[in-house]
Structure 1
């Protein structure tokens, strides 16, 4: 009769409807079962999915399906990171409200993801722009404000003129806005900050708990971004003044070699330092130039070092040296104290600066059995050594001298041990419309007043009209900003800044555990059951921004009593990019592959299969038209295999035990291949998510089925072996290509879905062979092969090898000196 042509469209839509109607992937808290929470980083609803989405979500779907078949209670949710500038800019362009654009895109993308057959529990869907979601975020913010974790201050901030908003340090990449590549400027603004620095030590220390579960590269990036430095804070007296300048240094061992001081252009002492100085205006001009310079360029090693003398001097607290104070372009406020003691003989930046401005150098660390000469040095000496020119500390190893010098300074009140961090508090204020409102008001009488929790959410106005230049309309909307003070009842003004969208993505994974709860942010029972996320999947580009913020938010919610959780993601997989012609897909390069076009031409299963087969998940993947055609051909091959065996296969189960059935040699061979396939696929799926090699193992099994089916199809034991092996092939492939496997499973005669069966267990006995194939070598050269019983001992193997006709031929006239047996593999006969 035949099945007819393999029609992916028809099959895939059929099974997607079946899963939806049956609620196959719906999941509830069930403390009687082991849970598994798999999550891919949720997408921004741009309107169209791209191949990066397909790869990310296909990886997660395979994990979810595999774990479900292993017996876990699997939660696999999906939602939308829906606030942000792209929606606002699109709304401006299309003269509409960002909400309208966003929700239309969500509908489109939900449909596209559903068409790929991902096993989401759509009942848990969230959109961060929904007031029912950000209401709870505003509640968190009020609690943080109450506890002092949220504060407002005026400070220099990163400003993108194109986006008309402030950027956090982490959102500036090589001096450019992370979204639009506009050069970032410095502006002084009143902004809201979260005290992430209060958690710097815990964020750093708990990285140790993630070793082996997170990629080393991500752990290193976070560690470097937090940037903990242990050193000393020293006080330098300013000559002729009662003022002092504080300096943080990790090298107190070089203090005797400090010959000048460099301060940041933004340092608050600059005006005092230049007071009365004849060239004060030149210093001011230099300061203006540097403060308007890209701060990331200023910290670059390649930057040409520039500076200007302030006319002031400070005093070295150890040796009393009179040190000139310079404003230098490479010193930044926010790193340490904004002032640096310059030790040109032992720091390369200071060395270059000193050479340029003819400033003195003093060697204070010398390598063992060597004398350095300042005049002959071509670069700073930064290696370990012993102290010289350092009075009472001479001869001391420099590492030992660090602590000794700090202790000495502490006794005189001129210094103390100190710790510095690169990490800075998180600026969450954004001057755009499409974000969660910050729930405070400003009252002339009462100051900053939090919005009462019963008045939450503070909702973005639905009638807002976007400004063409990108500025937020909120400061112009009286119906939004005009309000009354919750404290005194007088006139007040709402905060018109909205929150950085990374706030929403810092806790969404918690909300999935109780997405429909309306009387609280979380259901503690569900939260305790499902969290942490067992497997999180997303791009390496989020290593600092999202992942650091999510870890921080989890810890502060813990401390506020919402959760008992310290780390949100137990395991992290960072998948590689999808490339075309060697570069990342982009419209500008004209190398974009449209997933919808691929699904229409080849089907969702083939699209998924190729993207999983072409490369291990953590590596970049090069798109190949021939590759996806190959995946489509393979699925057709499976289709034809089951069609060829129509009426001959029975629903005996995967890895079925042949109880009461005597298997022929060929049937045993097929059974061995079947169980070896399940062994390999299980290992590849369980340990490193090596889906490419798992798929390759299934392909090998299909090849074996084709080679043996005609021999086996006419006997009862053969039909049994074929039925079990085909079933195992479908089960093993189903997480990757679920629709075709469901259809063929059904055609074999099974009731229910393959998605709902248990993962098969391979039988060690089935892997054993009756006979072993042994390679025969004479003096290391292959001279033949022979079969021996699996139970044969070494002596039997030796005897059979020596008597083999090819061995006799190549040892004729020679004396056999040694027979080396490598069990199960080869025999090497040494003769001369």
Structure 2
């Protein structure tokens, strides 16, 4: 049955989507005889509807997956749901529905939407992180962390959202407000569970080198900065009153003679004793409350205005014996370093600005040439290398040499030691909300904190609870959950009612996909050894720090706990961070009224068109603005391909891509189309396979379509021409197949092939097809361009020289000159030297 004249996207797409399901087209199994390729897009939170950002992300991943299959790889391409967390709980409360019902209903809807786009997922591997068969295993991981001392509880000030009733990570606080509800964040003392990610700080930092070339440099830089390794010294400043001491960490021990004040974090444990009973205690405590409620990220920002207050107390410089005034500052954090900073305003710009604001003296201890100078005259801090001055026995040393000498003196005199510091803090995994994985411990009056027995896992999150309208977790007051027995002594005990941070679920899901239906273990070593690491990971750059860092950490911990093979120490070999889809220059959001609904676009234009436009609009790493004219242009292109196929169908037959021969290219049109066909295969293979520049790959296919259109009538006149035309049309279909698979399957089937184009081999270009019969050669006279000539590609040096000298325009420029030398670069240029 011949294809209809009209391109009907919906009927074609539904037909082939059902075919792929019926024939298990994208299922994969371990096959040691084939090279694997694991392509993965970051899994979505099931909000209820996919958005255009999803479509772009998953279309990129699907092109990579389909392309690699056609290259012969054994491809795993799974999908699942990041299903626990605050958004589901808040939405469920707003809509008066249970979070579980809300979540699973949304999953059902989004799964249908993704299938309607024709993505080539192995749906047998689907996971939902809110399912007990998933979170059972992370509860088991938690028990192993407890055994190894990798998880602990401590009381510490935390970012607290009073509206969401939970702690927030630093990254979830934006301008001092909750990232989800814009409520001002407070600091609250809470006992929380922490994972010792800092135990892996050195390895996480060092292994970034292994990812160089596979990950974007800016992501590597962001992770490097977040881990923040600093090598320096810890020094002890005793309090003037002799009732304590303050330890500071500095990367500039060479400037210790220039300290003119000290700054403490308001949260520093010594602050209470320093300010107790002083005249301005109330003012000091008001300042502390104000700063403790500030966004921690903002406090460290260079653009944040520096604020401080003098405590009235002094410390003693261990080298000079000078009294050092102790201030509180908004830019020092208790959890970074020691929570105390020795301030050297002459040689640190932040300290310089603070000192100028509060009229604190400056003291120069480094100069460019070793000459003394008055630091009061500095317009900014001197931070360049130099010679130490005003530094006692160390004066005259280069400051780099002085760093080592000062550390030696600190250690010799018991004032301090060489040390390494990290910006990275341990990971707070406690959340005071309901919709999350229960933490598997109980509290017994006699035994204290006791781990749940492994055979009693999973600790099920109760589904028969009523959520509170204000967002407070119902778990602490739900007796059926809270009340239990101690696994150790059998007496009554209380369950932990905090749930795990949802980053825990998303830090190992990629491993679960390898063995998603294993009920005996989270995954088998065989599955991990074959499939991991992920060959290509795709997702937004907004996850560049936490999700990726936590996933790297989890991989290393699970390796050390024996869950993963020792050979696997990084989860993702290659990373592609795609840009956002904007509308009218802004991020799409319901509040702005600029949301483009993918379902509506599919209904209007078809899934192939939506996929094509998302890939063609811009390089994947850049943002692009949704354009009605853009998607209409993509739709017109597919209609053009449909018309082209319909028009050439009587003159083509079922051959594979790049199947024509050099002998069949016996005319200028045939040579031109064959050249275009093979050069397009070369470019598209590189653009998709190496550079991930899908927009330029599509542009190249469009040029091939245009040239086929232009030459089809002439080629249809001969049998050799039809062979060239048949090969070119097969190549158009095959190259487009990963991008617009449905329409290409329809063409392939109509050509009479038994198999699908999705299972077809990726075409290989032939070198003989790329040879041009005619080359354009540049002619220069004394290095200046004077003309161009077309010559046979087989022309040798002597022929090129004669062609150039006989060119009329060149002869005109040589009038009155004597040719001294002719330089010939074959296939490129001829340079005539004359005077």
The offset of 1:825, in angstroms, is 4.3
Tell me how far apart the structure 1 counterparts of residues 195 and 770 of structure 2 sit (CA, whole Å).
Answer: 59
The offset of 1:441, in angstroms, is 0.8
Deviates more, 1:791-800 or 1:355-364: 355-364
Distance 1:820 1:583, change over 3 A: farther
Q: 1:524 matched to which residue of 2?
A: 525
The offset of 1:315, in angstroms, is 1.1
Q: 1:126 matched to which residue of 2?
A: 127
- Write the mapping of 1:429-468 to structure 2, written as runs, cut at 5 A: 429-468=430-469
Q: 2:25 matched to which residue of 1?
A: 24
**Residue 744 of structure 2 corresponds to residue 768 of structure 1:** no
Equivalenced residue count is 832
- Write the mapping of 1:202-281 to structure 2, written as runs, cut at 5 A: 202-275=203-276, 277-281=278-282
Which of 665, 681, 685 aligns to 1:682? It is 685
The offset of 1:356, in angstroms, is 3.6
**Residue 705 of structure 2 corresponds to residue 709 of structure 1:** no
Tell me how far apart the structure 2 counterparts of residues 358 and 470 of structure 1 sit (CA, whole Å).
Answer: 48
Superposition RMSD in Å: 2.1
1:2–1:646: 8 Å Cα contact kept in structure 2?
no
Tell me how far apart the structure 2 counterparts of residues 155 and 537 of structure 1 sit (CA, whole Å).
Answer: 36
Q: 2:597 matched to which residue of 1?
A: 594
Tell me how far apart the structure 2 counterparts of residues 446 and 383 of structure 1 sit (CA, whole Å).
Answer: 58
The offset of 1:782, in angstroms, is 7.7
Distance 1:329 1:771, change over 3 A: closer
SS of corresponding position for 2:494: strand
2:82–2:128: 8 Å Cα contact kept in structure 1?
yes
The offset of 1:673, in angstroms, is 1.5
- Write the mapping of 1:35-184 to structure 2, written as runs, cut at 5 A: 35-184=36-185
Please list the CA deviations of residues 337-356 of structure 1 after superposition, one character each: whole Å capped at 9, or x if unmatched: 11111212222232233334
The offset of 1:620, in angstroms, is 1.4
Deviates more, 1:458-467 or 1:77-86: 458-467
Which of 626, 631, 649 aligns to 1:628? It is 631
Tell me how far apart the structure 2 counterparts of residues 510 and 804 of structure 1 sit (CA, whole Å).
Answer: 68
Q: 1:651 matched to which residue of 2?
A: 654
Distance 1:461 1:814, change over 3 A: same
Deviates more, 1:233-242 or 1:602-611: 233-242
Q: 2:541 matched to which residue of 1?
A: 540
Which of 724, 727, 738 aligns to 1:724? It is 727
Tell me how far apart the structure 1 counterparts of residues 786 and 363 of structure 2 sit (CA, whole Å).
Answer: 75
Tell me how far apart the structure 2 counterparts of residues 461 and 331 of structure 1 sit (CA, whole Å).
Answer: 42
Distance 1:754 1:392, change over 3 A: same
The offset of 1:272, in angstroms, is 2.3
**Residue 422 of structure 2 corresponds to residue 389 of structure 1:** no
Segments of 5+ residues of structure 1 without an aligned counterpart are none
Q: 2:640 matched to which residue of 1?
A: 637
Please list the CA deviations of residues 13-65 of structure 1 after superposition, one character each: whole Å capped at 9, or x if unmatched: 11111111111100001111100000000001111111110110000001000
The offset of 1:801, in angstroms, is 3.5
SS of corresponding position for 2:666: coil
Tell me how far apart the structure 2 counterparts of residues 102 and 666 of structure 1 sit (CA, whole Å).
Answer: 58
- Write the mapping of 1:794-809 to structure 2, written as runs, cut at 5 A: 794-805=797-808, 807=810
Please list the CA deviations of residues 441-477 of structure 1 after superposition, one character each: whole Å capped at 9, or x if unmatched: 1111111111111111111112111111111111121
The offset of 1:574, in angstroms, is 0.4
Please, what TM-score do these two structures have when normalized by structure 1? 0.96
Tell me how far apart the structure 2 counterparts of residues 778 and 353 of structure 1 sit (CA, whole Å).
Answer: 66
The offset of 1:256, in angstroms, is 0.7
Segments of 5+ residues of structure 2 without an aligned counterpart are none
Tell me how far apart the structure 1 counterparts of residues 353 and 772 of structure 2 sit (CA, whole Å).
Answer: 72
Q: 1:299 matched to which residue of 2?
A: 300
Deviates more, 1:268-277 or 1:309-318: 268-277
Tell me how far apart the structure 2 counterparts of residues 351 and 690 of structure 1 sit (CA, whole Å).
Answer: 47
Which of 569, 572, 575 aligns to 2:572? It is 569
The offset of 1:516, in angstroms, is 0.8
Please list the CA deviations of residues 497-533 of structure 1 after superposition, one character each: whole Å capped at 9, or x if unmatched: 1111000000000000011111111111011100000
Please list the CA deviations of residues 728-785 of structure 1 after superposition, one character each: whole Å capped at 9, or x if unmatched: 1111111111111111111122221000011111111121123324456778898876
Tell me how far apart the structure 2 counterparts of residues 782 and 415 of structure 1 sit (CA, whole Å).
Answer: 71
Tell me how far apart the structure 2 counterparts of residues 145 and 86 of structure 1 sit (CA, whole Å).
Answer: 29
Q: 1:754 matched to which residue of 2?
A: 757
Please list the CA deviations of residues 558-596 of structure 1 after superposition, one character each: whole Å capped at 9, or x if unmatched: 110000221000000001111222222222222222111
The offset of 1:8, in angstroms, is 0.6
The offset of 1:191, in angstroms, is 0.7
The offset of 1:657, in angstroms, is 4.7
1:664–1:717: 8 Å Cα contact kept in structure 2?
no
2:665–2:674: 8 Å Cα contact kept in structure 1?
no
Tell me how far apart the structure 1 counterparts of residues 834 and 407 of structure 2 sit (CA, whole Å).
Answer: 75
Tell me how far apart the structure 1 counterparts of residues 304 and 766 of structure 2 sit (CA, whole Å).
Answer: 65
Please, what TM-score do these two structures have when normalized by structure 2? 0.96
Deviates more, 1:473-482 or 1:275-284: 275-284
SS of corresponding position for 1:486: coil
- Write the mapping of 1:388-537 to structure 2, written as runs, cut at 5 A: 388-537=389-538
- Write the mapping of 1:308-319 to structure 2, written as runs, cut at 5 A: 308-319=309-320
SS of corresponding position for 2:327: strand
Please list the CA deviations of residues 512-555 of structure 1 after superposition, one character each: whole Å capped at 9, or x if unmatched: 00111111111110111000000000000001110011111111
**Residue 596 of structure 2 corresponds to residue 604 of structure 1:** no
The offset of 1:709, in angstroms, is 1.2
SS of corresponding position for 1:792: coil
Deviates more, 1:259-268 or 1:217-226: 259-268
The offset of 1:800, in angstroms, is 2.8
Q: 1:368 matched to which residue of 2?
A: 369
Q: 1:323 matched to which residue of 2?
A: 324
2:155–2:189: 8 Å Cα contact kept in structure 1?
yes
Distance 1:142 1:229, change over 3 A: same
Tell me how far apart the structure 1 counterparts of residues 263 and 316 of structure 2 sit (CA, whole Å).
Answer: 13
Distance 1:259 1:829, change over 3 A: closer
SS of corresponding position for 1:230: strand
1:168–1:428: 8 Å Cα contact kept in structure 2?
no
SS of corresponding position for 1:751: coil
Tell me how far apart the structure 1 counterparts of residues 823 and 637 of structure 2 sit (CA, whole Å).
Answer: 43
Which of 569, 579, 582 aligns to 1:579? It is 582
Tell me how far apart the structure 2 counterparts of residues 411 and 776 of structure 1 sit (CA, whole Å).
Answer: 76
2:734–2:757: 8 Å Cα contact kept in structure 1?
yes
Deviates more, 1:550-559 or 1:644-653: 644-653
The offset of 1:808, in angstroms, is 5.3
Distance 1:719 1:242, change over 3 A: same
The offset of 1:275, in angstroms, is 4.6
